Structure 1
């Protein structure tokens, strides 16, 4: 029998089900305008995820085992849940003082305890014609926001440089990758002095609202010297048809480097075997590779050259910050997980990484994505990041996303936070203009519709961030009990392929336990992945099972695409397109198909009329799902803009992003809890945290047919309350 969408509080639920119809194509407009949550809402996590004071004792440091800790408690790791603040004039820019106070408070209510400020240089120099002529209003707003964040117990991660235009005046393309500053920072003193002056005039100037320069403030946890500044990556970004793959400015320093290594043209020719006529080391005329995808000894040496240059740049820039009084962590080269870049990063204070699933290059008509599931490729974007980590150092994901308008992006709310927790990563930041918005309908170009990299307006992404606060920061997912080190020897690990990275057949191990890079000399008998890399993970799996590190009954079967974490809490199954989570405080499943019920323990998902995410979490203290009286239920399907237009039936190529209001795809799901109660009720929770009257209620067993299209508008949240037993 069907359960009505609204049941009186005295009704008794039935545990029988009528089949659901096929996936709905109905889309329902979001009704909320204000998204500002009130304290005490079911979405207010500040009571159990409180942000404490930021002072000398609570300065973030690399503590025991290289984990992020407070200075006063170096043996107790802390997890930092990060809010990406990548504002520009197109997304509204930095808020005024009242807006900053409200925004920072909202971030704390949502569970964030660190924020990353990205492209501050571009904002400060917007419409400025002279070098370092910061807009005074923008500088004031940034200073005030930093103070507001600190008052709310939210630390800062700041890029020393984000824009390839730096603080040069007279540019109108500061958020685009047109400038050459990131390359020149490795090559010439003028560019380096420009970067140094930028730090002196922004980070080293006293903030009037804190009384301290940001660089000496305990709230500044991490500086990214330059965002995404690897030489190879920068050359790929600037690659244009008909132009050389590598900038001519690299030729002279490369020749000098080769001269130090080989001494003579004859020795170089013997090593490479392919010198062209006219290439003479003594004359400095050895050419850069013409094709980055043509493997060879020339390419192998170019990688070694890049490593040396990049490490020298880090040392030089780091000294500037230390001389200015900075005591926090320093990182750089936060993307591009190749063997070359992993060697560059080995001596950093902390390793940072950016990673994306189904990346989108822009907002212009014709922009395209694949409409692919991240479960289908066994969370490869997560595994690429995992393989870039150096064990024994803090590891921070500075950017990740499963991008809008991919219809499977509900997966991100499980994939990244669950595996980040399993891996024991130190900070996790889903990239966007901002993770939250105070309201729909702000009069800015990037706030008039959902867009890629704009998660604040997307109910599906917001549901994922809500779940991430619980799975990751609260620690509902346990850290793996072992690490699988990938041995690194050094330059001899470079191949003749510039694009070489850790093999996917081995990074599968990140779905089972912690992985990361470790110097071969430090292995000390550990079960790990040696050099040269084996053909598959079979040997490591055999060791894990025979040593007892992997429990008996672990369901991992790599050949059939099934991976269970050593904790038993995470199960990814590529064949069914499902990721399941079962922990004492949260149970959840993301599914592209539901051919049979999913039994997670307390929560059973009987059937659904389409793909989506269902999660059930405790929100009343340290109770378990079997004890809790207040549970947050998340049900996320898909969302699009009104009047969105695609060029193809598969919705891969965008023609027009459309406009607000946001539309949520209607969905229904049959659920049962292995709980009974004298009385229970299920109430919709609006996207702003408002609790509405119950849409289901009953006594005894908790069984419901849930629709996200409620009488109060569509939502992704519900509150389940249970009275008595």
Structure 2
């Protein structure tokens, strides 16, 4: 792999790239072309994670405890592994009918049971000159894909509006934040009418392949009214040098709101500690803040205004959707986890959230990431989402990712599904053009190389999604028995800082137990994070939980040391050692820095490794048990990149050239022991397409081996450990 513009720079970079990278680091080309799983292969989860036929009894609703359930079984909470389908022309668009059938079947085999249809509007309007003139072939393919998903027991959640161009014709930039449509929907009747016409056409047109309109289909589980349409965030996405931070369309309604609240210029001036010389309420000349990052009473009132507008807009848009006959869940404002947006989400049916680690906003050369570990910051991207949910409502992660080309993104396959399960979340959706591809080398720009948000091509992300299906959907990780509410009063919780969110020093509690927002008036005598937040400390709350018996006294959590153990005992995060350990009856896993080995999990011990990575051992038996199981899936993920990939700096932060296929996997190895014995055991690699390859190792009695991902059949992230009928503890 050419990681630099010159070999000399490559050697320097590799020696400095992090924990264990050296100049001897090797990159192995992936040999598979077809990635379609064969039925019955170890990666075919359709038997251990079967999808239910979708019918009125298996329509998704919010149950009595606020978790997703089937309408016919409201007492049984469910978890949903989500396939992000964000297709556009650059990623090949929606497949033809045969491709849709194959794709939907593969999704079911991979363990997905819900799909998010994202940027449908942009796909339908691509290349169209007239408003709402949907491309007929694309519409047919969207409808067929929806039917294929439903036929495979995969429910849907759909954005009402994703594209900043909506249903307007004559544009070729529907995937870019180029217009203010998402903002205008809140304030302009013509823009709102455009939104309403768009969703009516998408949702109420009868699908010829299901015989019903999507809005009335039992497969439709959730509508996100408009993707990422919080007012503040919309402005952030469209910031540009020399441009005012706030759109001029906000000025008049903000002045009206201030007039209603304060009545006079004198009262407003008193509240704000003074106004500009020419500003008066009477002539509606109160200015919007000229710097969104400068704290002020003006900014605090602007946030209060945004909250009222967003609540009103969500109600208005929901009424339109309900008027079409929709009875399912509705959400919106699915990002920007601030105190202000939390107030806007308070009355929604479900909370939806998008969070990222080491986010990047585009693909062009010169884009930069930080190359940081999510374990070092205590899985902060997960904690931000945890602190945004309202207790008693479903939490749907509409987007998350630990983005390529971050070299520690192997962490995501353990961090997000494990903590999502601990938190009791309902849907987990790792964002991408699509979670799988049927083969490498499809003739579309976004499938010619690994890119951010192209998880289907990334063996590391795919390994994480495989593990996620077991940890989260199968339920290998238990939900916390402890709930720690964060008290919310209302507008009085706003500050002068528009970026204010729940303090990271308190969201650390999400690494121990379940957290979420709750109306302060509804709190009883439970242990909670109260207002003001500055009067709380995570260490004190942990001590109180131990004293009350809610948390075991031998729980390892030490906030000062950066060590956090879940109340279930299954998860231990050690921030200084960059290590996350998981021990459950069905799966044991470790995200590790090689220099901090050895580690004894439960039955599995990781004694040494060449390079950092993720190791996980999961039972494929029913019931799933590592103690007694005979077919165990071993996942070993390191890093991956493109051939001829180049950077502008020695730390691999600034991209110069993404390179090309084939994908390369970083060579790595681990020394493993399993505290079981077997009459006979054998270890075989599994290709990325699920095919079991010739045996690597075997033995009798004790189970211990050196595992390398550099195998004769080509590098892989999967292995099958089989123990014969004589296996015993």
What is the TM-score of this pair, normalised by structure 1? 0.97
**Alpha carbons 1:596, 1:606 under 8 Å: kept:** yes
Partner residue in 1 for 2:219: 219
CA deviations 1:201-228 (Å, max 9, x no partner) are 1111100000010000010000000000
**Alpha carbons 2:593, 2:611 under 8 Å: kept:** yes
Secondary structure at the residue paired with 1:313?
helix
- For residues 322 and 445 of structure 2, what CA distance do their matches in structure 1 show? 40
Partner residue in 2 for 1:49: 49
Partner residue in 1 for 2:441: 441
CA deviations 1:2-30 (Å, max 9, x no partner) are xxxxxxxxxxxxxxxxxx99785111100
CA RMSD of aligned residues (A): 1.0
1:26-65 equivalent positions in 2, closer than 5 A: 26-65=26-65
**Alpha carbons 1:604, 1:671 under 8 Å: kept:** yes
For the pair 1:485 / 2:485, whether they are aligned, the reply is yes
CA deviations 1:348-370 (Å, max 9, x no partner) are 00000000000111111101101
- For residues 561 and 597 of structure 2, what CA distance do their matches in structure 1 show? 19
Partner residue in 2 for 1:204: 204
Secondary structure at the residue paired with 1:703?
strand
Q: CA deviation at 1:277?
A: 1.2
**Alpha carbons 1:24, 1:665 under 8 Å: kept:** no
Gaps of 5+ in 1: 1-19
Partner residue in 2 for 1:613: 614
- For residues 494 and 641 of structure 1, what CA distance do their matches in structure 2 show? 45
Partner residue in 1 for 2:700: 699
- For residues 462 and 116 of structure 2, what CA distance do their matches in structure 1 show? 18
1:223-622 equivalent positions in 2, closer than 5 A: 223-533=223-533, 534-622=535-623
CA deviations 1:636-673 (Å, max 9, x no partner) are 01001000011111111100000000000111110011
**Alpha carbons 1:23, 1:609 under 8 Å: kept:** no
- For residues 596 and 529 of structure 2, what CA distance do their matches in structure 1 show? 37
Alpha carbons of 1:280 and 1:21: their partners in 2 closer, same or farther (altered >3 Å)? closer
- For residues 132 and 378 of structure 1, what CA distance do their matches in structure 2 show? 46
Secondary structure at the residue paired with 2:573?
strand
Alpha carbons of 1:21 and 1:148: their partners in 2 closer, same or farther (altered >3 Å)? closer
Q: CA deviation at 1:51?
A: 0.2
Q: CA deviation at 1:593?
A: 3.0
- For residues 687 and 95 of structure 1, what CA distance do their matches in structure 2 show? 22
**Alpha carbons 1:460, 1:638 under 8 Å: kept:** yes
Secondary structure at the residue paired with 1:508?
helix
CA deviations 1:520-550 (Å, max 9, x no partner) are 0111111100000135212211210100111
Q: CA deviation at 1:65?
A: 1.2
**Alpha carbons 1:331, 1:349 under 8 Å: kept:** yes
Partner residue in 2 for 1:647: 648
Secondary structure at the residue paired with 2:211?
coil
- For residues 431 and 153 of structure 2, what CA distance do their matches in structure 1 show? 21
Q: CA deviation at 1:280?
A: 1.0
Partner residue in 1 for 2:131: 131
Secondary structure at the residue paired with 2:596?
coil
Secondary structure at the residue paired with 1:333?
coil
What is the TM-score of this pair, normalised by structure 2? 0.96
Name whichever of 259-268 and 534-543 sits farther off.
534-543
- For residues 53 and 441 of structure 1, what CA distance do their matches in structure 2 show? 33
CA deviations 1:14-60 (Å, max 9, x no partner) are xxxxxx99785111100000000011010011111100111111110
Partner residue in 2 for 1:104: 104
CA deviations 1:546-600 (Å, max 9, x no partner) are 0011112110001010000000000000111100000000000001234331111
Partner residue in 2 for 1:189: 189
Alpha carbons of 1:23 and 1:541: their partners in 2 closer, same or farther (altered >3 Å)? farther
Secondary structure at the residue paired with 1:385?
helix
- Structure 1 segments, 4+ long, off by >4 Å, are 20-24
- For residues 409 and 60 of structure 1, what CA distance do their matches in structure 2 show? 32
Q: CA deviation at 1:198?
A: 0.6
Name whichever of 218-227 and 619-628 sits farther off.
619-628
Q: CA deviation at 1:693?
A: 1.3
**Alpha carbons 2:482, 2:551 under 8 Å: kept:** no
- For residues 542 and 603 of structure 2, what CA distance do their matches in structure 1 show? 30
- For residues 576 and 198 of structure 1, what CA distance do their matches in structure 2 show? 51
